[in-house]
Structure 1
Amino acid sequence: MSSFTPEQLFATQKAAYDSLFGLTFKAFEGFEKLIQLNVQVIKSTLAENQEVVGKALAAKDPQGLFALQTPPTAEKLQSYWRHVSEIVTSTQGEFTAVSEGHFKQSQHDVQTFVDSLAKNAPAGSEALVSAWKSAIGTASDTANSAYDAAKKAAKQVVEIAESNVSAASSASTALAKNAVARTTATTEKK
């Protein structure tokens, strides 16, 4: 009457381990991308700082020093956070796809198990089988609803975070542009 053979149980366990290791590798790939992004940012920042210091040391007078334009830091910061957001969103999307697949497979396995029980149930147990099917159906519907709600909530959190990063970087860009304009106006008056 058992619907799981040792081979099926072994295959299920192997699939679970493969999935776990696959997700672990995806997490490390995302982490590796973040590290590469940070290394790239550090290298470019060092090169830009070297250039600015070289120009500052070559300035002949204070006006030449004030005339040096600083790189648009706010725009670079916005670009950096956009890249971080893309990496995190991509990794989260891969996790979501895998978990969604497992969720659907689990539902299918439970339904197959219940159908197997119903098919092999002894005569007179139709009421018990019907109760099991009803309970499994209700649990499945509840799980689907909870999963959909969690998926929507996670999507909203990502959208809000992206919106906040965009708004903060836009405000920073505006402040930086105003500061540069004021500094330029001040040096031009002198």
Structure 2
Amino acid sequence: MNQLSPEQVLAAQKAMIDATAGLTAKAVEGFEKLLALQIETTKAALSDTREGARKALSVKDPQDFFALQIELFKQATEKALSYRLQFFEIASATRVEFDKAAEAHYEANKRGVQRLLDGAVSTAPAGSSAAVTAWQAAIDATHTLYETMQSTAKQAAHVAQSSFNTAAEAASRSVKQPAARAVRQ
């Protein structure tokens, strides 16, 4: 069987350190973006609350107070949906980076396993072709399983995102319609 040289081991270790450092940097970058979003959202919520209270205290007519409450609720709902969208975009971008790294690692390992198997085949004793064929079939089945699971996970994430977007849009419309009716009355 083929044995790895010290240079190959060192190169593999350096590659793993680089990959880990890169993923750590992406995770910290994503965390910083989420933290900035949270701080921005908190500041906006405090400002909106202060402004809403100021407006509520200046209203004299109960009808106007009710309309103000509906308008404030509508604005809060829209901001919550916007926050959710921004949060999802940041989280998705970070996940994409991790997915890319995982796929690259998988492909590198897949090639390494295939090279190892090819080396075993070239040095295999006569009459061992059945065992080698069985190993190749097992490796191929593992690759197929991984690729199927990866495809299924991507489809599930897409369906979940589409469902949430549809629900968010419906919620936004349902808030806007009663608010528009209340203002007209």
Settle same-fold status: TM greater than 0.5: yes
1:3 and 2:6 aligned:
no
Distance 1:104 1:135 in 2: 21
The alpha carbon displacement at 1:145 in A equals 1.1
1:94 and 2:93 aligned:
no
Corresponding residue of 1:25: 25
Identity of aligned residues (%): 35
1:72 and 2:75 aligned:
yes
Distance 1:106 1:157 in 2: 26
1:34 and 2:34 aligned:
yes
Taking the TM superposition and a 5 Å limit, the aligned residue runs for 1:1-190 are 2-68=2-68, 69-70=71-72, 71-119=74-122, 121=123, 125-128=125-128, 130-131=129-130, 133-185=132-184, 188=185
Q: Does the 8 Å CA contact 1:23/1:95 hold for their aligned counterparts? A: yes
Distance 1:118 1:11 in 2: 25
Distance 2:175 2:62 in 1: 21
Q: Does the 8 Å CA contact 1:26/1:91 hold for their aligned counterparts? A: yes
Deviates more, 1:86-95 or 1:14-23: 14-23
Distance 1:146 1:2 in 2: 27
Question: The residue matched to 1:3 in structure 2 has which SS?
Answer: coil
1:92 alignment partner AA: R
- Provide the aligned length of Structure 1 versus Structure 2: 182
Moved over 6 A (4+): none
Gaps of 5+ in 2: none
Distance 1:2 1:169 in 2: 56
TM-score w.r.t. length of structure 1: 0.80
Computed over aligned residues only, the root mean square deviation of the Cα atoms, in angstroms, reads 2.5
Gaps of 5+ in 1: none
Distance 1:126 1:100 in 2: 36
TM-score w.r.t. length of structure 2: 0.82
Q: Does the 8 Å CA contact 2:67/2:179 hold for their aligned counterparts? A: no
Distance 2:166 2:81 in 1: 10
Question: The residue matched to 1:127 in structure 2 has which SS?
Answer: coil
